[in-house]
């Protein structure tokens, strides 16, 4: 056997990683270089040599030195880690078989692979694949019995085990609100790998299995949300995709709606407003199918309002967009009820009146209604419980931005100054990014004002440059 052929029997993981860093599927990479998807897959598996002309195209397309391409192609992996055969293609993890969930969680515990996950880019194209699979793919969440099938081996899993997972999730959510994702996320990923994964491999009745899948979906959604809070957007997307798959396996429409809403918010934050509109449409569809409570539907309408506001891409959107956002906000406020109902899922408990006001205010700010935005943000600040530190932090910045846009420099700085210290204390990349964004806008508008210069000096002293 040819020496090069022998060397690559285990595959070319560096070529896989290079493709993933560029946010490409195998099909997209193959089209870029000018080969078939089958040929590209064979390259990654080490089953076919790469001709010099294609090596040159790789170097040119991805703007790297030829020596770097050679390193990708010559680096081999053990035969047990063949890309495409052992589901180690990160971009396609959420489309893998049932073992994909378990594998993603194991990767979180491996320092080298965790670093690779954290570096993954956000891939908008995956959202379309996931939406299609969620709506139509019978192989993901097919018949009721298959969705929560009893595993062939492992320990017996009962309702007490499911309840422990649910209680752990509630504790993780509360800690995340209070301290930010950086402090809590390691405990979540450890719990998924050490406690939850063995339960999913266990033996259980169909009803227990459904509840376990739902609980696992919510835990995976929380892991993704925390990665999002830390700015690891590709990593967050993978966990959210797996969460959506688990929710479909459980036939749990309400949890699916929650996950789709999270994906939509991530898309909004990354300025993919059109994708957010599609995701929130699916979330509302899932909520209605799952007979969502008024509080859940209010949250979903708010996410859709945000999606339309972000998709407009300007603080002065067209009349149709402003009317659509206003109608959705009115629907959310009309639908919302603060009273806890029996049909409220546990995860909606944090969505109180203060959070409602905060979400409405943010949407008003995005469409240029700055007075309404300031009023709602300040209403939210007065209503948040002290344990919701991150929400308080975000709304301080939102209030500061609204006051700045109203020309009220003193009011803006009154909200922004305490936000700087809170951003330093919270382990949240989003909290820091929002404060820095406010400082940039402040400097652009009031560069020569002594109070603006003092704030910039304070920011540098607390958070660095």
Q: Hey, which residues does 203 pair with through a beta bridge?
A: 156
* Contact in structure between 381 and 402 (CB atoms under 8 Å): no
Question: Are 64 and 191 within one domain?
Answer: no
Q: 404 in a domain, yes or no?
A: no
Q: Quick check: helix, strand or coil at residue 123?
A: coil
What separation in angstroms does the CA of 157 have from each of 16, 90, 105, 195? Answer: 37, 30, 20, 12
Q: 351 in a domain, yes or no?
A: no
Question: Are 58 and 109 within one domain?
Answer: no
What separation in angstroms does the CA of 186 have from each of 110, 125, 190, 218? Answer: 12, 28, 6, 16
Torsion-angle region of 11 (φ positive above 0: left; ψ -120 to 50: alpha; else: beta): left
CA distance 246 to 224: 13
What separation in angstroms does the CA of 414 have from each of 397, 407, 409, 452, 455? Answer: 10, 13, 9, 12, 11
Q: 247 in a domain, yes or no?
A: yes
**b or e along 46-73 (b: 16 or more beta carbons within 10 Å of the residue's beta carbon)?**
bbbebeeebbebbbeebeeeeeebeebb
Question: Are 70 and 113 within one domain?
Answer: no
- Please give the pLDDT value at position 151: 44
Question: Are 59 and 38 within one domain?
Answer: yes
- Please give the pLDDT value at position 146: 38
Question: Are 44 and 126 within one domain?
Answer: no
Instruction: Give the range of the structural domain holding residue 244, as residue numbers without chain letter.
Output: 92-251
CATH number, domain with residue 15: 1.10.260.40
* Contact in structure between 44 and 15 (CB atoms under 8 Å): yes
- Please give the pLDDT value at position 23: 66
Question: Are 73 and 124 within one domain?
Answer: no
CA distance 212 to 175: 22
Tokens of 387: 């344990």
Question: Are 72 and 138 within one domain?
Answer: no
Torsion-angle region of 156 (φ positive above 0: left; ψ -120 to 50: alpha; else: beta): beta
- CB-hemisphere CA count at 13 Å for 288? 6
Q: Is 440 exposed, middle or buried (0-12, 13-18, 19+ CB in 10 A)?
A: exposed
Tracing tokens 């922004």 back to the chain, one arrives at 416
Q: Is 11 exposed, middle or buried (0-12, 13-18, 19+ CB in 10 A)?
A: buried
For residue 150, what is the DSSP state?
A: P
Cβ neighbour number for residue 233 with a 10 Å cutoff: 20
Tracing tokens 């609100």 back to the chain, one arrives at 177
Residues 6+ apart with CB under 8 A from 108: 114, 117, 189, 192, 193, 223
Question: Are 198 and 133 within one domain?
Answer: yes
- Give the domain-ending residue among 251, 282, 299: 251
C-alpha angle 155-246-241 in degrees, rounded to nearest 5: 135
CA distance 191 to 164: 11
Question: Are 104 and 174 within one domain?
Answer: yes
**b or e along 173-198 (b: 16 or more beta carbons within 10 Å of the residue's beta carbon)?**
bebbbbbbbeebbeebbebbbeebbe
Q: 187 in a domain, yes or no?
A: yes
Question: Are 102 and 172 within one domain?
Answer: yes
Please give the tally of structural domains in the chain: 2
Q: 432 in a domain, yes or no?
A: no
User: For every one of its 465 residues, what pLDDT tens digit does the chain have, with 9 covering 90 and above?
Assistant: 344 444 445 578 888 888 877 767 787 788 778 888 888 888 888 888 898 889 988 888 787 888 888 888 886 544 434 333 333 333 343 334 345 566 778 778 877 667 767 777 788 878 888 888 888 876 444 333 333 444 445 689 999 999 999 999 999 998 988 888 888 899 999 999 999 999 998 999 999 999 999 999 999 999 999 999 999 998 899 899 999 999 999 999 999 999 999 999 999 999 999 999 999 999 999 999 999 999 999 999 999 999 999 998 776 778 888 999 999 999 999 999 988 899 999 999 989 999 999 999 999 999 999 999 999 999 999 999 998 989 999 999 999 999 999 999 999 999 999 999 888 888 889 999 999 999 999 999 998 999 999 999 999 998 876
CA distance 399 to 29: 44
Tokens of 364: 């008003």
CA distance 97 to 101: 8
- Please give the pLDDT value at position 6: 40
Residues 6+ apart with CB under 8 A from 180: 229, 389, 390, 426, 427, 428, 431
Based on DSSP, count helices (H) and strands (E) in the chain, helices before strands: 25, 0
End-to-end Cα spacing for the chain: 56
Q: What is the pTM of this model?
A: 0.79
CA distance 443 to 458: 13
* Contact in structure between 267 and 276 (CB atoms under 8 Å): yes
Q: Hey, which residues does 156 pair with through a beta bridge?
A: 203
Question: Are 217 and 161 within one domain?
Answer: yes
Cβ neighbour number for residue 151 with a 10 Å cutoff: 15
Question: Are 196 and 47 within one domain?
Answer: no
- Please give the pLDDT value at position 115: 72
Q: 147 in a domain, yes or no?
A: yes
Q: 63 in a domain, yes or no?
A: yes
């Amino acid at each position: 056997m040819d020496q090069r052929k022998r060397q690559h029997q285990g595959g070319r993981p560096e070529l896989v990683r290079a493709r993933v860093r560029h946010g490409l599927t195998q099909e997209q990479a193959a089209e870029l270089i000018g080969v078939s998807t089958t040929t590209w897959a064979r390259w990654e598996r080490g089953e076919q040599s790469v001709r010099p002309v294609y090596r040159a195209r790789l170097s040119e397309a991805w703007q790297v030195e030829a020596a770097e391409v050679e390193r990708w192609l010559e680096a081999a992996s053990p035969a047990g880690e063949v890309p495409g055969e052992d589901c180690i293609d990160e971009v396609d993890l959420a489309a893998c078989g049932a073992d994909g969930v378990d594998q993603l969680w194991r990767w979180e515990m491996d320092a080298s692979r965790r670093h690779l996950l954290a570096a993954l880019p956000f891939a908008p194209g995956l959202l379309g694949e996931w939406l299609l699979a969620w709506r139509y793919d019978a192989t993901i969440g097919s018949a009721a019995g298959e969705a929560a099938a009893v595993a062939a081996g492992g320990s017996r899993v009962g309702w007490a085990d499911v309840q422990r997972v649910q209680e752990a999730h509630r504790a993780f959510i509360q800690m995340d609100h209070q301290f930010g994702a950086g402090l809590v996320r390691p405990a979540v990923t450890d719990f998924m790998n050490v406690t939850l994964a063995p339960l999913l491999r266990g033996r259980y009745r169909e009803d227990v299995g459904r509840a376990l899948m739902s609980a696992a979906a919510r835990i995976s959604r929380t892991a993704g949300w925390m990665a999002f809070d830390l700015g690891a957007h590709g990593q967050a997307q993978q966990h959210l995709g797996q969460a959506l798959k688990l929710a479909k396996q459980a036939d749990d429409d309400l949890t699916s709606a929650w996950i789709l809403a999270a994906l939509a918010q991530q898309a909004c934050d990354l300025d993919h407003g059109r994708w957010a509109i599609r995701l929130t449409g699916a979330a509302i569809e899932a909520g209605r199918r799952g007979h969502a409570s008024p509080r859940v539907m209010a949250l979903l309408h708010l996410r859709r309002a945000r999606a339309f506001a972000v998709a407009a891409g300007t603080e002065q959107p067209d009349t149709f967009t402003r009317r659509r956002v206003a109608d959705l906000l009115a629907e959310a406020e009309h639908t919302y009820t603060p009273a806890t109902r029996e049909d409220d899922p546990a995860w909606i408990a944090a969505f109180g009146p203060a959070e409602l006001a905060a979400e409405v205010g943010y949407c008003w700010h995005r469409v240029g209604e700055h007075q309404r935005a300031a009023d709602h943000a300040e209403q939210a600040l007065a209503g948040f419980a002290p344990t919701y530190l991150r929400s308080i932090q975000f709304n301080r910045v939102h209030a500061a931005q609204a006051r700045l846009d109203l020309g009220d420099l003193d009011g803006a700085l009154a909200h922004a100054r305490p936000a700087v210290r809170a951003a330093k204390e919270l382990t949240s990349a989003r909290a820091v990014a929002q404060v820095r964004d406010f400082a940039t806008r402040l400097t652009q508008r009031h560069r020569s004002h002594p109070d603006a210069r003092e704030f910039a000096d304070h920011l540098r002293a607390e958070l660095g440059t």
